[in-house]
Amino acid sequence: MKKIEGKITKRGPESWELLNYLGESIRIQGSIYKIRKMKGFSFVLLRTKRDIIQCIAGEELQLPMEECCVELLAQVVEENRSKRGFELHILEVQVLSTPAEESPIVINQKLVDTSLENLLDYRPITLRNEKQRAIFRLQAGICKGFREFLAGQGFTEIHTPKIVQAGAEGGANIFKLEYFGQQAYLAQSPQFYKQMMVGVMERVYEIAPVFRAEKHDTSRHLNEYTSVDLEMGYIQSYEEIMEMETAMLRFTMEHLQAYYQNALELLNVKLPAINGIPAISFREAKEKVAKAYQRPVKDWEDFEPEEEKLLYELIYRETGCEFVFVTKYPSSKRPFYAMDSVEDARVTESFDLLFRGLEITTGGQRIHDYHMQLEKMQSRGMNVDLFESYLMMHKYGMPPHGGLGLGLERFTAKLLGFENVRYATLFPRDINRLVP
């Protein structure tokens, strides 16, 4: 019987280790990203898992077509004109696989010069573009930053079900499915479960898909997105949740700055400084925008997207901060589990976080008292019997608690300066798109 030892085969150095091999011959794998023929030699760009590496091939070498996968034997040569300080002189090319056809879309220029629709239709190919894939390297870095921060703050990662019996956010924006003869839904958020888990572990988080059957066809809506959810017990006020989010965002920006320089440079990203984030109540924000732009307030219960942008402009001008917390949203616009304010029951102990004019987070303190929760549900005409397992936690004791959900794709998009959230979504799902 064979024994698998758990040995990792490395057939050569990683691209980021190459500077340590100056003068040496090494083996390296990758795709032929681009060939540019010159007089007597060719420039070859090799796409490896993290970097695009500049190589030189003499004219005696037979070069395979672009998007071939190859193993090169090459010498690492110091080259100050190259951004990385070296280039590879190719000695041998071994072809590992050959495409059946040339790509119908040019992917090896600085930008993939095509419509958003084409970009998404050809996602398996267009993502191979250096800048396109850097977006998702950074997105992975954001998740890594969040996770490291949260682990350091005593949060435990959880995995909660996405097929559920009742929606947390209510309303019609919920996908239905048949579940062995029962009606079931796709979870709009892990809300109920993360609250339950606060009663168990005090601090929990989850980074996972959520589903919204919204019919909006806008630049900021997706029907499936990745939600970064956290929930924490023993808070004295919803402000502690905002403090936690501010610290998490600051930590994560520092994490990107420290470990993702290549991707940041490539995408020309200027990370926002987070020294502190201004907080303004919903009512004050409405008044502020109305006054500054002489727009009479039409709706005292909600923001229009335009107002969020104007608020951002005002706050940025005043404070230099690109984030703003808007607090104390009207109770009528918040879900049944939101804690109303003691001083004014028409508003909730809640907040949204806007980043560069777009809402990226909704959060707040939740009701922990059983009777208070029952009362609020009844006052909304809800059938409490449908929520028996949710209310179980309140009935048998819960700490004061709250939390938030952050849309990963929206945050990534705004961070990278995209006007459409789809640019920051690997394989977007919207009202018109189900493939790839």
Considering only the stretches 203-211, 332-340, 357-365, 376-384, report the one whose residues sit in contact with a copy of itself under the rule CB under 8 A.
203-211
Using CB atoms within 10 Å of the CB of residue 177, give its burial: 0 to 12 exposed, 13 to 18 middle, 19+ buried: exposed
Residue type, 123: R
Told to check if 393 binds a copy of itself by CB under 8 A, we report yes
Shortest gap between Cβ of 183 and a copy of itself (angstroms)? Answer: 9
Told to check if 383 binds a copy of itself by CB under 8 A, we report no
Considering only the stretches 271-279, 289-297, 333-341, 342-350, report the one whose residues sit in contact with a copy of itself under the rule CB under 8 A.
271-279
Shortest gap between Cβ of 400 and a copy of itself (angstroms)? Answer: 6
Told to check if 84 binds a copy of itself by CB under 8 A, we report no
Q: Strand pairing partners for 94?
A: 71
360: closest CA among 319, 320, 310, 404?
A: 404
Which residue's CB is nearer to a copy of itself, number 79 or number 254?
A: 254
The correct pick among 165, 173, 219, 341 for binding a copy of itself (CB under 8 A) is 165
The correct pick among 84, 162, 221, 309 for binding a copy of itself (CB under 8 A) is 162
Told to check if 292 binds a copy of itself by CB under 8 A, we report no
DSSP strand pairing (86-97 vs 163-164): unpaired
Burial pattern 239-264, b for ≥16 Cβ within 10 A else e, equals bebbebbbebbbbbbebbeeebebbb
179: closest CA among 190, 165, 166?
A: 165
The correct pick among 108, 188, 191, 246 for binding a copy of itself (CB under 8 A) is 246
Told to check if 234 binds a copy of itself by CB under 8 A, we report yes
Told to check if 397 binds a copy of itself by CB under 8 A, we report yes
Told to check if 279 binds a copy of itself by CB under 8 A, we report yes
Shortest gap between Cβ of 147 and a copy of itself (angstroms)? Answer: 7
Considering only the stretches 53-61, 305-313, 335-343, 397-405, report the one whose residues sit in contact with a copy of itself under the rule CB under 8 A.
397-405
Which residue's CB is nearer to a copy of itself, number 59 or number 344?
A: 344
State CA 235 to chain mean position distance.
26
The correct pick among 43, 99, 219, 333 for binding a copy of itself (CB under 8 A) is 99
- Strand arrangement, sheet containing 224-233: 156-157, 203-211, 224-233, 401-407, 358-366, 350-355, 323-327
Considering only the stretches 4-12, 37-45, 55-63, 293-301, report the one whose residues sit in contact with a copy of itself under the rule CB under 8 A.
4-12
State the DSSP H helix or E strand holding residue 78, giving kind and residue range, or none if neither.
strand 69-78
Size of the site for a copy of itself (CB under 8 A): 129
Considering only the stretches 35-43, 82-90, 156-164, 299-307, report the one whose residues sit in contact with a copy of itself under the rule CB under 8 A.
156-164
**Please, how many CA atoms are within 13 Å of residue 28, restricted to the half-sphere of its CB?**
32
Name which of residues 296 to 355 contact a copy of itself (CB under 8 A). 318-319, 325
Told to check if 116 binds a copy of itself by CB under 8 A, we report no
Which residue's CB is nearer to a copy of itself, number 42 or number 153?
A: 153
In 282-416, where does DSSP find H-type helix? Answer: 282-293, 305-319, 370-379, 388-395, 408-416
Angle between helices 282-293 and 305-319 (to 10 degrees): 90
The correct pick among 139, 189, 350, 365 for binding a copy of itself (CB under 8 A) is 139
The correct pick among 101, 268, 317, 343 for binding a copy of itself (CB under 8 A) is 101
Which residue's CB is nearer to a copy of itself, number 46 or number 90?
A: 46
Shortest gap between Cβ of 100 and a copy of itself (angstroms)? Answer: 4
Shortest gap between Cβ of 40 and a copy of itself (angstroms)? Answer: 27
Told to check if 226 binds a copy of itself by CB under 8 A, we report yes
Cβ pair 54, 15 in contact under 8 A: no
State the DSSP H helix or E strand holding residue 144, giving kind and residue range, or none if neither.
helix 130-152
Considering only the stretches 78-86, 195-203, 265-273, 297-305, report the one whose residues sit in contact with a copy of itself under the rule CB under 8 A.
195-203
Told to check if 215 binds a copy of itself by CB under 8 A, we report yes
Q: Strand pairing partners for 227?
A: 208, 407
Identify the three-state secondary structure at position 298. Answer: coil
Rounded distance, CA 52 to CA 214, Å?
39
Q: What token pair was written down for 42?
A: 């060719």
Which residue's CB is nearer to a copy of itself, number 146 or number 303?
A: 146
SS (H, E, C) 91-124: EEEEEEECCCCCCCCCCCCCCCCCCHHHHHHCHH
Told to check if 96 binds a copy of itself by CB under 8 A, we report yes
